[in-house]
């Protein structure tokens, strides 16, 4: 029976999880293999070795249920974890809902988001492997800044290729990376063959995530002491984020409650998997059932409008092929504010869970998400990041459904980051300048038609 | 004996203080009276009634040691309090110091700073008194945004006069106020006689904190349903901030440790008083002695270069006279980045404590503070606000002294806010564009010469 007054459910640092959770171990069927882009045959660990240290490759393919979190990583986690889990009582009152709304808040990390949960272990394992430099790409800058901090801790140079249009528009994200000692390069750059080729054709090219990935991969692949890191999508990244859900389970227990519904926003899928996978696994092992809802932007709706197919992770087609819900690797989402959700594909493991019927998906326009974010901010104080506003919208709609049905359900959502770096989006919304954006249907059709033709293995 | 590994010392929400602490009760001599600006005689509660609700006026003058925190205020505090207290072990290692460095972190509040600690109760008491609108001024925007959130909670319209140059330069702070429903007006404005008079002379006047205060006070004094609120300096504001130090006492106990040295940055004095006063009071009542260091900007050094004298709180001379360390109410500090520390005077109670020898003061140039802030960020992750960098500098210098002397002392400082809204300052610092700024000595001399001539009452 939930305490009728409590708002927060703190955990002592001794309760930071000792092991990450791997959903693969509990799934009724394994996810499809990852294929070599040339041969279309399953890749082995050696194929990935130029880009990642072997310890992370092993985590990428492991079927073990739990992977031990190294003590040095837990040491760093302690600087902000366990993160708060709170009951949004003022929001419940404002909505007049009988629902019990809980949110896990990842905005208390130094970077203001969930990204350090995986940046720290990725830097740790690279350091263990003797790596001196990590390259990566970043769009809005949230991932690049988190990895920059992780690099500062473990003495690794971090080189971030930042999409040039974001580099120019978001000088504060760049300043954050540099404060933590990261090096931020506008992409396309003249530091790589891929970048030079593009600049030679168009010196004013605005860049894209796909190009930035190509540059980061090129640098990493060409040097023995340098590896590459990705902030979402991959299995090991999702697994690192399960500290979110594992803590939330302990906190829901201390609240004497359990979620009936879990809501998370999805871009690449990592914050969503972080909150949801431990609960899904618990249910698969015979625990309490839970509805799980992925909320994505209507302008980049991979789960609700994409095709479940093998596709490349980048536009330049350097990455392996993974089976996922995809809008096609040539699909370019419009420039809406939730930059962290602008990705053509969905994490293969999230996609597989969707196919297995373990999760639902819904897509929202950005203005409705900002409406929800402002309502949340006025009730609970925290101003959510534009990405997190999608989860807020989803949770509020579920709470309103409880009101309509006269049913009290426990709703848990992941508030994956604060919006203090995104106030321009709020300024635009409040001034009525924010509009819903849609992609070009014919462009989507073309991108889907361009999916690689892959003979299903097995 | 401190645990050799713990980093964080969380408190359950039941440990949020039930009473604020009032240092006045434990002082060996009472602070000087507040004087009427016209008669130079001590003001009574009725003199302040046009501007503040009587409950806050009573808190301003009370000599009781403890004032009960209303339950509705504690309810809101629970949305981010108790705030973290952490041991900065990675910073200790980076400094090679035997010192034990602890910091209380107020950046987890929805506003990213300590300001909601007093914004919430001020809005509460105004609401209790039937007030529908509160006016205030803001410089950098930290206070105005916190009060805007408090207004959203209690259904009070918040009208913030924001110094025009900041209004133009800091659109994100304005967006934050508006997200929380506050109304933000560039000052000087045409909404007040004071503003119109200035604009008639100079339509492009950049504004000043003194002018913004005049506008806010004019609106509040002219309407029965409207009061005025201040974010620092006054006794009741400092008292509300003592939740910081009271929690820190409980957290230091759970760490099996106690500070030998406490460091805080000082502008108006409220975050400093918040962390320090409960410890000072404990020592005055026979508890453990503690050195307390106030760190102020060298470009606005009221405690280290000001005169202890009766002065006005604003440049337009509408406020009562208080005895404080002041640079003179006409003194204009240069435009350094720690906007929250750009005030000509010091809280009367902090000034009195300095005269009684209960605290020390030191002044630092801003580049040395940003050096400390970057060092802290790379070690501990949190990027401090420019104001907080002054406290970081002071704490690091004390830790380095421990290294020189080969002595392990416990150093506690207040990290009063994060710097996510201030990344331009970091960008400037990292690019070498940040310079130390000094005031004009002759201007200071003139401002001090212009102090009002007051016959000491007694």
pLDDT in tens, chain A (458 residues): 677 788 999 888 899 999 999 999 999 999 999 999 889 999 999 999 999 999 999 999 999 999 999 999 999 999 999 999 999 999 999 999 999 999 999 999 999 999 999 999 999 999 999 999 999 999 888 999 999 999 999 999 999 999 888 888 888 999 999 999 999 999 999 999 989 999 999 999 888 887 888 899 999 999 999 999 999 999 999 999 999 999 999 999 999 999 999 999 999 999 999 999 999 999 999 999 999 999 999 999 999 999 999 999 877 788 889 999 999 988 878 877 777 788 889 999 999 999 999 999 999 999 999 999 999 999 999 999 999 999 999 999 999 999 999 999 999 999 999 999 999 999 999 999 999 988 889 999 999 999 999 887 65
Q: Do residues A439 and A420 lie in contact, with contact meaning Cβ atoms separated by under 8 Å?
A: no
Tell me if B7 and A112 make a contact (CB, 8 A cut-off): no
pLDDT value at position A458?
A: 56
| Model confidence pLDDT, tens digit, residues B373-396 | 999 999 999 999 999 999 999 999
Percent of chain B with pLDDT over 90: 83
Distance from CA of A18 to the nearest CA of B (A): 16
A6, A11, A78 member nearest B13 (Cβ): A6
A11, A174, A430 member nearest B175 (Cβ): A430
pTM of this prediction? Answer: 0.94
Q: Do residues A86 and A8 lie in contact, with contact meaning Cβ atoms separated by under 8 Å?
A: yes
Q: Do residues B277 and B269 lie in contact, with contact meaning Cβ atoms separated by under 8 Å?
A: no
For residue B254, is pLDDT > 60?
Answer: yes
Nearest residue of A to residue B172 by CA position? Answer: A423
Q: How far is CA B406 from CA B76, B102, B290, B372, B398, in A?
A: 44, 18, 19, 21, 12
- The dihedral sign for the CA sequence A168, A169, A170, A172: positive
* CB-CB neighbors (< 8 A) of B75 in chain A: 7
A176, A378, A427 member nearest B175 (Cβ): A427
pLDDT value at position A457?
A: 60
Q: How confident is the model at residue B333 (pLDDT cuts 50, 70, 90)?
A: confident
Tell me if B426 and A152 make a contact (CB, 8 A cut-off): no
Distance from CA of B95 to the nearest CA of A (A): 14
| Chain B interface mutation, best of A5, A381, A388, A417, highest count of B Cβ atoms under 10 Å | A381
* CB-CB neighbors (< 8 A) of A427 in chain B: 171-172, 174-175, 178
Distance from CA of A319 to the nearest CA of B (A): 32
| Model confidence pLDDT, tens digit, residues B7-47 | 999 888 899 999 999 999 999 999 999 999 889 999 999 99
B75, B176, B181 member nearest A383 (Cβ): B176
| Chain B interface mutation, best of A13, A167, A175, highest count of B Cβ atoms under 10 Å | A175
- The dihedral sign for the CA sequence B323, B324, B325, B331: negative
A13, A149, A424 member nearest B8 (Cβ): A13
Nearest residue of A to residue B13 by CA position? Answer: A8
- Domain A4-15+69-112+236-439 -> CATH class: alpha beta
Q: Locate the domains of chain A by residue range.
A: 4-15+69-112+236-439
Nearest residue of B to residue A152 by CA position? Answer: B378
Three-class SS of chain B: CCCCCCCECCCCHHHCCCEEECHHHHCCCCCCCCECCCCCCECCHHHHCCCCCHHHHHHHHCCCCEEECCHHHHHHHCCCCCCCEEECHHHHHHHCCCCEEEEEECCCCCCCECCHHHHHHHHHHHHHCCCCEEEEEECCCHHHHHHHHHHHHHCCEEEEEEEHHHHHHCHHHHHHHHHCCCEEEEECCCCCHHHHHHHHHCCCCCCCHHHHHHHHHHHHHCCCCEEECCCCCCHHHHHHCHHHHHHHHHHHHHCCCCCCEEEEECCCCHHHHHHHHHHHHHHHCCCCCCEEEEEEECCCCHHHHCEEEEEECCCCCCCCEEEEEECCCCCCCCCCCCHHHCCCECCHHHHHHHHCCCCEEEEECHHHHHHHHHHHHHHHCCCECHHHHHHHHHHHHHHHHHHHHCCCCEEEEEECEECCCCHHHHHHHHCCCCCCCCCCHHHHHHHHHCCCCCCCCC
pLDDT value at position B139?
A: 82
Q: How confident is the model at residue B211 (pLDDT cuts 50, 70, 90)?
A: confident
pLDDT value at position A103?
A: 98
Name the 3-class secondary structure at A361: strand
Beta-carbon contacts below 8 Å between A and B:
135
The strand pairing partners of B158, in sequence order, are B134
Distance from CA of B401 to the nearest CA of A (A): 24
* CB-CB neighbors (< 8 A) of A423 in chain B: 171-173, 175-176, 179, 421
Tell me if B381 and A78 make a contact (CB, 8 A cut-off): no
Distance from CA of A217 to the nearest CA of B (A): 26
Distance from CA of A75 to the nearest CA of B (A): 8
Percent of chain B with pLDDT over 70: 99
First to last CA, chain B: 49
pLDDT value at position A209?
A: 80
Q: How confident is the model at residue B457 (pLDDT cuts 50, 70, 90)?
A: low
Tell me if B374 and A179 make a contact (CB, 8 A cut-off): yes
Q: Return the higher-pLDDT residue of B371 and B438.
A: B371
Distance from CA of B289 to the nearest CA of A (A): 29
């Amino acid at each position: 029976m939930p305490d009728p007054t409590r708002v927060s459910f703190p955990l002592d640092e001794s309760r930071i999880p000792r092991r990450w959770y791997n959903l693969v171990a509990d799934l009724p069927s394994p996810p499809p293999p990852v294929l070599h882009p040339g041969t279309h045959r399953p890749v082995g660990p050696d194929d990935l070795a130029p880009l990642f240290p072997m310890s992370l490759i092993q985590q990428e393919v492991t079927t073990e249920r739990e992977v031990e979190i190294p003590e040095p990583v837990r040491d760093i986690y302690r600087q902000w974890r366990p993160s708060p889990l709170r009951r949004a009582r003022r929001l419940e009152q404002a909505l007049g809902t009988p629902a019990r709304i809980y949110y896990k808040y990842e905005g208390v990390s130094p970077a203001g988001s969930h990204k350090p949960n995986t940046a720290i272990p990725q830097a740790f394992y690279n350091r263990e492997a003797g790596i001196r430099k990590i390259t990566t790409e970043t769009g809005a800058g949230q991932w690049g800044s988190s990895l920059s901090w992780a690099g500062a801790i473990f003495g690794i140079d971090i080189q971030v290729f930042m999409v040039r249009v974001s580099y120019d528009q978001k000088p504060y994200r760049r300043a954050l990376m540099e404060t933590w000692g990261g090096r931020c390069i506008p992409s396309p750059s003249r530091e790589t063959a891929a970048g030079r080729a593009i600049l030679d054709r168009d010196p004013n090219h605005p860049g894209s995530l796909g190009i930035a990935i190509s540059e980061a991969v090129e640098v990493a692949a060409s040097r023995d002491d340098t590896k590459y890191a990705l902030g979402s999508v991959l299995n090991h990244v999702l697994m690192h984020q399960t500290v979110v859900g594992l803590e939330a389970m302990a906190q829901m227990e201390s609240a004497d409650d359990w979620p009936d519904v879990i809501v998370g926003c999805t871009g690449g899928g990592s914050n969503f998997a972080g909150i949801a996978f431990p609960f899904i696994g618990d249910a698969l092992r015979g625990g309490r059932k839970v509805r799980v809802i992925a909320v994505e932007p209507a302008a980049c709706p991979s789960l609700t409008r994409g095709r479940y197919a093998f596709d490349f992770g980048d536009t330049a087609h350097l990455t392996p092929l993974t089976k996922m819900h995809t809008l096609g690797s040539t699909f370019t989402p419009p420039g809406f504010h939730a930059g962290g959700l602008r990705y053509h594909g969905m994490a293969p493991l999230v996609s597989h869970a969707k196919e297995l019927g373990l999760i639902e998906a819904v897509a929202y326009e950005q203005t409705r998400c900002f409406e929800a974010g402002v309502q949340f901010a006025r009730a609970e104080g925290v101003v959510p990041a534009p990405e997190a506003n999608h989860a807020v919208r989803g949770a509020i709609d579920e709470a309103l459904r409880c009101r309509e049905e006269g049913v009290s359900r426990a709703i848990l959502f992941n508030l994956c980051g604060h919006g203090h770096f995104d106030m321009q989006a709020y300024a635009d919304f409040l001034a009525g300048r924010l509009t819903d954006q849609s992609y070009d249907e014919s462009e989507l059709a073309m991108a889907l038609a361009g999916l690689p033709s892959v003979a299903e293995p097995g």
